[in-house]
A and B are shown apart, each in its own frame.
Chain A
């Protein structure tokens, strides 16, 4: 019984003509921008071994991945992300003197309930990775590339928030909290649940100065001025280094004239799975989810056998499409192309004309319904073509702009 033959599975969508044209255009503009900046494109398989994403490293939650088996019974997944496969490539396919490598990808990823797709299970990601560079310059380059890419999509009002995972980790080291309590605090800060953080602090003995700072963490976001108000005397070396790192990156972004797009969020602790340094997310109006996320991931590549600093980001193309639509910035595709029809007996001329247009690079299509001129004009206007040409038996022709 074919009960499901009319439907697509949950969380996936057909993308038809108009939106598909716009999506491809968007992708090609982004591709062009990445290339202009010296990034090289690569493609990774849609399916990977489960162990690449899970296994010992435990990068992704097991229940968020689509799983199935190959012919030998080994567990496979539809890739939930492309950064991890790129890390696999960096460790196994590239040579020592290849680095640093700047690469990019545009491809579909699959995940249950992933933020980047806005609750879609299949979504397109376009991302850049800088492999083999540990400098703040490389991080600033990644942020700058991200800003550049958003601008190219046509979104004008947006914001990039920068955090640093070592700031939170450093504070937690200083606090002496146990692992369970740290995870609890992380979750509460992530929710900006001020009351919850206070309750945990009340249960543990943490020095007064540090306690105040941890309680303030959910509020530590906004312009870079918040960095000035932090009392550095109690936060320890690791957290201090994290702040210095953010400051250097901000300086570089100022030199690049991009600082107006950037703000700070030291309470950004949600995406720690493989990040080791700065983390950043992009926001805009109209969609309730981030349109991009990225950061430094210095330990990811070593999980595949090579010690390598790396940083990068990925844009959610579907989210950006949604934002453009909500912000009414999606222009409908321009009228283009010619519809060629003919009277009985004029087929050869019509076909010849149509072919000439196509050879010149002008989109053209031949009428094969042949229901007369009026019907032809109606059809051509409905399909958004720009002109209609009708050939008569006597060799003459009539052109109509639509």
Chain B
């Protein structure tokens, strides 16, 4: 039997993913141990795991270097990879939003927005092109995006909003809702065919726990 390879996103998603995989009967003890290894395995079930940066998970899965991946919908939207998105795992929930100063509230359609700061340039570009039919200048930042409208770098931001506290404390409000985000399980298109039985069984076992 071949090994099935699962790519997990480093960070808080990994913890929750491991719980689910263990619940599905996989042995993740190696993953839980504090090891410097890059690849962990469950030799009994012939499954391997590795942890990579979230943005890299869809890449590994698209190329077939991993058969299965667990990653946030935000990353999937941003990366736009050609994958099967088979399960909404429901955790790590938040919303992808357009946010900006209070003055813009309710008048997004009348005001000309020219600059948008974001960590998600593709999502921002798609949103403004498809939904608002506008060509805007996208400014890519790596963090603390909320700062941009405050210091005049951008008119609005596109970012993940969980509780809305950071926005509120900085005098920003949600102007539009782009997408619901949560963790997803993705599968390589070829793996889904070639290892159909085992992958379907794993999907079923994980879906059972989500009920």
Q: From residue A325, how far is it (CB to closest CB) to chain B in Å?
A: 13
Q: Which one, B62, B65, B85, contacts A192 given CB within 8 A?
A: B85
**A85-129 interface code vs B (CB 8 A; 1 in, 0 out):** 000000000000000000000000000000100110000000000
List the B side residues contacting A265 at CB < 8 Å.
193
Interface size range of chain A in the complex: 20 to 34
How many contacts between A and B, using CB within 8 angstroms? Answer: 50
Which partner residue on chain B sits nearest A113 by CB separation?
Answer: B82
Question: Does chain A have a CB within 8 A of B29?
Answer: no
CA distance A265 to B85 in the complex (A): 16
User: A residues 281-319 with Cβ under 8 Å of B?
Assistant: 283-290
Question: Does chain A have a CB within 8 A of B2?
Answer: yes
Question: Does chain A have a CB within 8 A of B91?
Answer: no
List the B side residues contacting A159 at CB < 8 Å.
193-194
The answer to whether A288 touches B189, judged by C-beta atoms less than 8 angstroms apart, is: yes
The answer to whether A288 touches B193, judged by C-beta atoms less than 8 angstroms apart, is: no
The answer to whether B62 touches A288, judged by C-beta atoms less than 8 angstroms apart, is: yes
Question: Does chain B have a CB within 8 A of A81?
Answer: no
The count of residues in chain B whose C-beta lies closer than 8 Å to any C-beta of chain A is: 22
Question: Does chain B have a CB within 8 A of A161?
Answer: yes
Question: Does chain B have a CB within 8 A of A194?
Answer: yes
Task: Take A285-B2, A288-B65, A289-B64 as given contacts and tell me if A115 and B82 are in contact as well, using a CB distance cutoff of 8 Å.
Answer: yes
A residues in contact (CB < 8 Å) with B: 115, 118-119, 159, 161, 191-196, 221-222, 263, 265, 283-290
List the A side residues contacting B190 at CB < 8 Å.
283-284, 287-290
CA distance A194 to B89 in the complex (A): 12
The answer to whether A288 touches B63, judged by C-beta atoms less than 8 angstroms apart, is: yes
19 more CB-based (< 8 A) A-B contacts, given A191-B85, A195-B88, A290-B189: A118-B63, A191-B83, A191-B84, A192-B84, A192-B85, A194-B86, A194-B87, A196-B85, A221-B196, A222-B196, A283-B193, A283-B194, A284-B194, A286-B64, A288-B62, A288-B64, A288-B65, A288-B188, A289-B64
CA distance A71 to B196 in the complex (A): 53
Q: From residue A322, how far is it (CB to closest CB) to chain B in Å?
A: 10
The answer to whether B85 touches A193, judged by C-beta atoms less than 8 angstroms apart, is: yes
